[in-house]
Structure 1
Amino acid sequence: MKAKIALITGGYTGEAEVSFKSSAFVNSQLDHDKYDVYLITISKDAWFYTDKDGRQYPILRESFTLPLNGETISFDLAFIMVHGVPGEDGRLQSYFDLLDIPYTSCDALTSALTMNKGYTKAILSDIPELYLAKSVLLFESQRAEAISTVESNLSLPYFVKPNAGGSSIGMTKVKESAQLQEAIDKAFDAENTGKQVIVEEFVTGREFSEGIFRNAKGELVVLPATEVRTTREFFDFEAKYIPGLTEEITPADLTTEQQERAARILKEIYVRLNCKGMVRVDFFLENGTDKFYFIEINTIPGQTAQSFIPQQVRAFGMKEGDFYGELIESALLSAK
């Protein structure tokens, strides 16, 4: 009997638009001869399954089951493709834990932790060969004195960004003090980002993004890195999603030593944060020093055909459908 997979999309934030694209691609690549896949949309207003004819059927949230054609469908696994809230911050994971339904992503604690950039950096602070940009974490209660806190602890230029959230929403590169207040307000006021702001000293270097996952054999597999070159000031929302603003080179032009060092660090990050499934780590190699500077970790990385992970899977010599199958089988095995 085929495993019943709930492929979950949508979400409660502006990142839902990306989630729909990611889930559509995953659905197109999965082996439907092996899995019964049900595309399920979640929003603040409704949770529902959409069939191939566009008809919608509500999900029973108390049990995460689907009444359909006179029967009630229970799912063997949730394939979470919800970027942002509630798919990436631990809420969905906690819900599925309560219902004893396995899922493909990191667990609730890791998901919640890694949505908080400042807390994540604290956990990773003593990993060998890993460097962290000097930073300050600002809470809403400290908003009035934010300017003085930043300027007394950090040197220009700064990166100002919400401490939670994704897709570079609410981020600003600040080159002079006069820009700082506007940047801090923008980050604090970004929707669904937790009313916390992290400000980091800017690191100048080559920017990379690299995936890592645990396969069905339990092995950690590091994918080839992607180098990101953008015509923007930094890799912001527009650079990520507007064609032509960014050049992405996969596999990246890295020396053998750089590749091996990156793999060591990524594996340590994965283990230290107790990750599961696939994650993506963004990092700089600093100009002049070649030091590996951690930027952030993404526990539900984008999965459109052009996204980093599918690019890297192809460069690794693997088909996307086989990759997603590995994630499903690994999650099912770990749940036994």
Structure 2
Amino acid sequence: MKKLNVFVAMGGYSSEYEISMNSGTVVCGALDSEKYRVFPIHILEKGWEYAPSEGEKIPVDKADFSVTVEGEKHKPDVIFNCIHGTPGEDGYLQAYWKLLGIPQTSCEYYPAALSFNKRDTLSVLKQFGVECANSYYVNKGTEYDVEEIVKKVGLPCFVKPNRSGSSFGISKVKEMNDMDAAIEKAFEEDTEVLIETGLNGMEVQVGVYRHDGEVIALPPTEIVSKNEFFDYEAKYLGASEEITPARISEKETRMLQTQAIKIYRLLNMKGITRSDFILVKGKPYFIELNSNPGLSTESIVPQQVREAGLTLKEFFSVLIDEALNLGV
């Protein structure tokens, strides 16, 4: 059987590029070497390169997303998209690959752009009855009234960049006097800011994917942060406890999984996503959806995959098969 060429795209142009590189490295190591010929592709602002474990890096031909190795041109049969943030999670690369006719493992360009924009995602989902925290929007260069913000969302509240991930630029604000500094911090990541009520409950995250036409929710993970919230340090530097499966009832588990599947379908997702919720007195409040969640060994989704009884090799093969079956 001829091996499929799998180009694993990693990196990106945002603050999340190092996290993406970790995800891509894990994917490359876990893919079935008997089925796939794996090409690690680094997509960075300084350039796009095929980066084999041995030998020199080789530029990617952007005309057809190919690489030429020792005089032989190689094109991808499928792309495994591991980029967090721009340009691989916000629709830009998805549109480019769509034009080239190359299947890829994440959602299409419009659902990617929509889900990457937290404010737009909330606006859509609220129309379908999905419970969300109260929110307030601020754009860079426009005036805002701190008292008006607090009147709308209360204290404590969370100030977030609208289009960013991995908790970059997020602050938990407890006092009105801290609001301006938090908004400026968020503006360092994006020109649009989302401010939300700080809900008091359990943070739970649910991975969802599609297999043979069925949308499947993975076992939920409970997040217990040692910090004020699940910030960068808690996510990536060990300042949190991630408990899979979450310590909740079977009823609450089913409710969260059902809601995560509903959101996956409403936003026209494909591939693997992760939806984040705050469970308040048994009711799930949607926080955000990641269309390209972290896939490093200890990331949330791989924990859930193992709890579901799958190996990463098996799971990544499912994602590739689904990308090929659904086409571009």
Give the corresponding residue for 2:203: 207
| 1:132 lines up with 2:129 in the alignment | no
Distance 1:148 1:20, change over 3 A: same
- The answer on whether the counterparts of 1:110 and 1:274 sit within 8 Å (CA) in structure 2 is yes
**What residue number does 2:11 align with?**
10
Which one of the candidate residues 221, 230, 234 is aligned to 1:226? Answer: 221
Name the residue aligned to 1:294: 286
Change (3 A) 1:146 1:167: farther
TM-score by length of 1: 0.95
Structure 1 position 238 matched with structure 2 position 233: yes
- 1:275 is aligned with what amino acid? M
- Is the CA contact 2:105–2:323 (under 8 Å) kept in the aligned structure 1? yes
Structure 2 match to 1:276 = 270
Q: Show the counterpart of 1:255.
A: 249
Q: Give, in angstroms, the shift of residue 93 of structure 1.
A: 0.3
Letter in 1 for 2:222: E
Cα distance in 2 for partners of 1:53, 1:68 equals 13
Give the Cα–Cα distance (whole angstroms) in 2 for the partners of residues 56 and 188 of structure 1.
35
| Secondary structure at 2:5 match in 1 | strand
- What is the distance in 1 between the residues matched to 2:149 and 2:199? 16
Partner of 1:177: 176
Identify the residue that residue 162 of structure 1 maps to in structure 2. 161
Superimposed CA distance per residue, residues 107-128 of structure 1 (whole angstroms, 9 cap, x where no aligned partner): 1001111111111001111445
Equivalent position amino acid for 1:202 in 2: G
CA contact (8 A) 2:168 2:232 kept: yes
Aligned to 1:68: 69
1:329 match:
321
Stretches of structure 2 that go unaligned for 5 or more consecutive residues are none
Deviation at 1:253, TM superposition (A): 1.5
Question: What's 1:147 paired with?
Answer: 146
Q: How far, CA to CA, are the matches of 1:112 and 1:305 in structure 2?
A: 27
- Secondary structure (helix, strand or coil) at the match of 2:113 reads helix
Look up the match of 1:196: 192
Q: 1:326 & 1:26 partners in 2: Cα distance?
A: 13
Q: How far apart are the structure 2 equivalents of 1:127 and 1:253?
A: 28
* Matched ranges for 1:32-71 at <5 A: 32-71=33-72
The one-letter code sitting in structure 2 at the alignment partner of 1:299 is S
Instruction: Return the offset for 1:54.
Output: 3.7
After the TM superposition, which parts of structure 1 deviate over 3 Å for at least 4 consecutive aligned residues? Answer: none
Cα deviations by residue, 1:167-186 (Å, 9 ceiling, x for unpaired)? 00000111110111111111
**Contact in 1 for aligned 2:220/2:257 (Cα 8 Å):** no
Q: Deviations over 1:50-97 (max 9, x none)?
A: 123141111100111111111111111111111111111111101101
* SS of 2:305 mapped into structure 1: helix
Q: Given the alignment of the two structures, is residue 265 of structure 1 paired with residue 259 of structure 2, yes or no?
A: yes
CA distance in 2 between partners of 1:59 and 1:246 (Å): 38
Q: Report the alpha carbon displacement of residue 146 of structure 1 after superposing the two structures with TM.
A: 4.5
> 1:153, CA displacement in angstroms?
2.2
- AA aligned opposite 2:113: A
Contact 1:127/1:268 (8 A) holds in 2? no
Distance, in Å, in 2 between the alignment partners of 1:81 and 1:36 is: 17
Q: Distance in 2 between matches of 1:175 and 1:306?
A: 31
Aligned mates of 2:31, 2:145 — CA distance in 1:
48
- Distance in 2 of aligned mates of 1:140 and 1:149: 17
Q: CA deviation at 1:151?
A: 3.0
How far has the Cα of 1:45 moved from its partner?
A: 1.4
Q: Kindly indicate whether the alpha-carbon contact (under 8 Å) linking 1:279 and 1:299 is maintained by their aligned counterparts in 2.
A: yes
